[in-house]
A and B are shown apart, each in its own frame.
Chain A
Amino acid sequence: MVKPDSPDEAAPRRLDPRTLLLLPFRVGWGSLILALPAVLGWSRGEGFNPGLLTFGLALFLIVSIASGLLGWLTFTYQVLPDQVVIARGLLNRSRRSIPAERIQDVSITRGPVSRLIGLAEVRLETGGGEKDEGVLASVSLAEARRLREVLRRQATAPAAAADAAAGAVAVEDEAVLFRLGTGRLLFLGLFKFSLVWIAAIFGLLQYGGELTTYDLEWWMGRLRDVVVEARPQDDPGFGLWIVGAAIALGLATGVGRTVLKNWGFTLTQDERRFRVRRGLLTRSEVAVARRQIQLGLVEHGPISGRLGWRVFKVQTLGGGGEASGMQELLPFARPREVTPIVGLAGLPPFREDDLAAVSPAHAVGGLIGFVGIPAVLTGVASVFLWPALLLLPLLGLGLAVALLRPGRHRFAATEESVQVRRGVLGRRDWTVPHGAVQTLTMRQGPLQRRLGVATVRIDTAAGGAAGGPHVHDVETARGAAFVGEVMARVHALPPRVRSRATAGVDEGA
């Protein structure tokens, strides 16, 4: 067992020397791939000078190795009893100290190469705005575990002295709440059908045709005729074949990406945190402190949702890893599996019966955005390219969505939380405990003023830019009453739970 306050522990340390082995993967790799087409282009031209290229590459390697070595030599970290000090830089020396009580968690990430040589990246989650505030790029796995244990012990010590005795044991003492089986993982992948990759591959076909071998070239040529230039040749079955191949490709990339990301997905909990581990090549681990959870979001996919599958996410203050503070706790689960996790996250259950729909005028925005503007665009496009008219049936879908929107956007202020439901094809159910409501804003644009409606925006800590739990287009008077009701609930909260965002910060005081 390591003692955090013995002099050896507190001495400044460098990163693991094996970090230098990772150097080519860190600096060189990306730029080398970018250079590849240039090299290929060069190699086909006449005025190519191999000596110059070698010189350039050598220079690049020397500079990157030298800077990497200097970076390694000048970077030290130091774990003191009450803070972590990270010093770096040769000319511009910077010393950053992160107070122990601000470190909310320590996450360990391992890429494929790091795993091969036994290294790990340690990230100190502080909940501050800056993302790379406390990153130790690579230390040995043993050192990473030691750091986590020491820092966690320090962080919990002032908060709960009672836990300290059981501290070291409690870290290991995790209960598994959810595990994503292989069958279910593959099934989830089918819903992640991706068109983006198909587009990318066809883009490659258009420009990269010459690079392929002779036999493939003929196929590529035909593919391009059919897909890129919309010129189906003698064989009509070929077009169908392409569509089939595109769908298969989309499914394959979806499954592939899902397997890479969510392989071995496990959700566990100890006495204070949820922990999500997942990934095939890059195994990642994210911790979510339970009392930092600001809101819960249950998502229904357009198809998977109708088949009874749900995604459960929480927005957490100072959770790390992903942007916008949203963390996925359950990627693909049945409602009966979601309910207990919602409870463990300290969130009240979503009560469908209490919900009331927004104003019918909510359809107007949809009619403009999903029908009006696309109709105009299609009209303009069809003047130049008649197949654009084939998109017209999609306008019917847009019309249906726009008309259904008001009935599917519902909200309520229940005893414990604000609930918002939204979405016609897919659906999202937000639960915001009153303790997490920071401010309420009513907003009314010029069109909304004509319709006599307004939007109520519910601001929470660590929210993302897009798509929060907002109530769009509710009649002005009802909106004002809703704001008053939520405010009354906020004021009625007992002081302990008054604010979720400040409770964590002030708990030591």
Chain B
Amino acid sequence: MAFDIVPLQRLERGYLQVMRINALIGWGLLAGLAAAGEFLLRSRTGWPFGVVWGPVAALGLLSVLVLAPGRWRRWGYAFTERELHVARGWLVRVHTVVPVARVQHIDVSQGPLERGAGVATLRLHTAGTEGSLVTLPGISAARAEEIRDAIRARIDDAPW
């Protein structure tokens, strides 16, 4: 998307719902706290109820309806059998390339929300420093396992 290194695939649509629910939970908690605080301090400030939690809730709504899809659209990945590409980021765009030969170990994980949406997160560990953990969320569980098995086979093949 951002850079023409390889053509990228989008994440599963189901992951967009996961991102939305995560944003909803986070912003909901924040709005709830704001509402509670406002309610308790109402007698001191004398502000009309809703002057604080209203904007917070509006920001949350914006995040769930507009920003989450925007961020979701910026994610992209490609697996070319020899390397894994992961691209993300809205303000700062980042595209990381991991050569399969450099992968030390691989995790596939699935949280409760992800399980509901049928997606999984693939984590690649390398010996690097800042790129020592490369995370690819929101691909189908079957695809994650397929990539994992392909990488594992290639690591095992390498005659040390």
In the complex, which of the residues B93, B96, B131, B160 contacts A503, with contact meaning CB atoms closer than 8 Å? B160
| Alpha-carbon gap, A507 to B94, bound state (A) | 34
Least Cβ–Cβ distance between B19 and chain A, in angstroms? 22
Query: Which bracket fits the contact residues of B?
Result: 20 to 34
Are A480 and B160 within 8 A (Cβ)?
no
A443 closest partner in B (C-beta): B94
Are B131 and A441 within 8 A (Cβ)?
yes
Interface size of A by CB at 8 A reads 41
Are A490 and B131 within 8 A (Cβ)?
no
Contacting residues, chain A, for B98 (C-beta < 8 A): 439
Interface membership of A146, Cβ < 8 A: no
Contacting residues, chain A, for B82 (C-beta < 8 A): 487, 491
Are B99 and A490 within 8 A (Cβ)?
yes
Least Cβ–Cβ distance between B93 and chain A, in angstroms? 5
Are B4 and A459 within 8 A (Cβ)?
no
A341-349, A367-375, A494-502 - the one binding chain B: A494-502
Interface membership of B92, Cβ < 8 A: yes
| Alpha-carbon gap, A437 to B128, bound state (A) | 8
Are B93 and A487 within 8 A (Cβ)?
no
Render A423-453 as a binary contact track against B, CB cut-off 8 A, 1 for contact: 0000000000000011111111110010000
A16-24, A42-50, A399-407, A460-468 - the one binding chain B: A460-468
Are B91 and A440 within 8 A (Cβ)?
no
Are B129 and A483 within 8 A (Cβ)?
no
Interface membership of A506, Cβ < 8 A: yes
Least Cβ–Cβ distance between A446 and chain B, in angstroms? 6
| Alpha-carbon gap, A480 to B97, bound state (A) | 11
For this complex, 26 residue pairs linking A to B, each with C-beta atoms less than 8 Å apart, are A437-B102, A438-B129, A439-B134, A441-B95, A441-B131, A442-B95, A443-B93, A443-B94, A444-B92, A444-B94, A446-B92, A457-B130, A459-B131, A460-B128, A460-B129, A461-B127, A464-B129, A483-B5, A483-B97, A484-B5, A490-B99, A490-B102, A491-B83, A491-B99, A499-B127, A502-B127
Residues of A within 8 A of B (CB): 317, 437-446, 449, 454, 457, 459-464, 468, 476-477, 479-480, 483-484, 487, 490-491, 493, 495-496, 498-499, 501-503, 506-507, 509
Residues of B within 8 A of A (CB): 2-5, 82-83, 91-99, 101-102, 104, 126-132, 134, 158-160
